[in-house]
Amino acid sequence: MVNGKPGSFLPSRDGFAFINAWPSEPAVAVDTPLGTINIGNAAAGLCGGMVFAALDYWHAGISPPATRPGPGEPLYQYIVQRLINSWHVPAGVLQYYQWMNLPNGDTGSNLLGRQITIERGLSWRTIETQWPQIKADLDSGTPAALGVVTVASANPADLGVNHQVLAYRYDASASQVTVHVYDPNRGQADGIYISFDPRAPEQPTKFANNMDIAEPVRGFFRNAYAPATPPGS
């Protein structure tokens, strides 16, 4: 099955012409139940802000600005604000942190010859609970913002190692799902994807991808999004 509707989001047309690389600026500090978290120095990326802002422009029916804004300019400030929005403090931060501390595959034990699942891993949570919600968005013609978990860590400071992208289309068969995404790290490239085999979600699943990130993808979830009015609209 292929999902891709006329007028749907396309990175080469609807993504920002500049990539997620910024001058060094003070970190965005967000108060969370885990303490004050530095979401990141701007030089480390504003991926969530760029995803939400690009989707805002798409909903507004206008092309995003082609020129990278400088610190202090309205678009830059807007992207930073949308980055903060994308973390959905406190619930969103806690979801990233919970997933960072879960195993890739299910854990369980054998009780009297019967395998009992104790905890669901990231693969099962991604494939069985999150992917159906994302698929429903895409089937309706609506792009879906994704929180991508890449790190296994109990250190809240590692929250910023995770990533955010925008799913806009998918291809699916019984043995492979390919989710086409806008990756702010890759700019307006249309060929960026996350791909996985959905047949054994209880086991650690490889989420192949060609995003510009250093860590492997452990799982991803649908990030709640509500449109906002972008500058210049």
- Residue 203 confidence (pLDDT) above 50: yes
Q: Per-residue pLDDT for 1 more than 60?
A: no
User: Residue 230 — very low, low, confident or very high, per pLDDT cuts 50/70/90?
Assistant: very high
Stretch among 10-14, 22-26, 83-87, 215-219 having the lowest mean pLDDT: 22-26
Strand partners, 119: 107
Please write the tens of the pLDDT for every residue from 22-79. 877 655 666 777 777 665 555 567 999 999 999 999 999 999 999 999 888 999 999 9
pLDDT in tens, 102-139: 999 988 656 656 666 678 999 999 999 999 999 999 99
Distance CA 233, CA 229 (A): 7
- The average pLDDT across 145-163 equals 93
Positions of E strands within 71-162: 107-111, 114-119, 144-149
Place of tokens 């060929």: 191
Q: What pLDDT, on a 0 to 100 scale, did the predictor assign at position 117? A: 60
Cα-to-chain-centroid distance, residue 217: 11
Convert 185-216 to b/e letters by CB count within 10 Å (16 or more is b): bbbbbeebbbbbbbeebbeebebebebbbeee
First-to-last alpha carbon distance for the chain, in angstroms, is 35
Which residues in the chain belong to E strands, given as ranges? 2-3, 29-32, 35-38, 107-111, 114-119, 144-149, 163-172, 177-182, 193-196, 208-209, 219-222
pLDDT of residue 6: 44
Q: Are 193 and 167 in contact (CB under 8 A)?
A: no
pLDDT of the residue at 4? 45
- Give the mean pLDDT of the chain: 89
Residue 150 · residue 207 · CB < 8 Å: no
Asked if pLDDT for residue 182 goes beyond 90, the answer is: yes
**Collapsed DSSP state (helix, strand, coil) of residue 133:** helix
Pairing relation of β-strands 29-32 and 208-209? unpaired
Alpha-carbon distance of 122 to 109, in angstroms, equals 18
pLDDT band at 3 (very low <50, low <70, confident <90, very high): very low
pLDDT for residue 114: 67
Phi, psi at 137, each rounded to 5°: -60, -50
Q: Is the pLDDT of residue 227 over 50?
A: yes
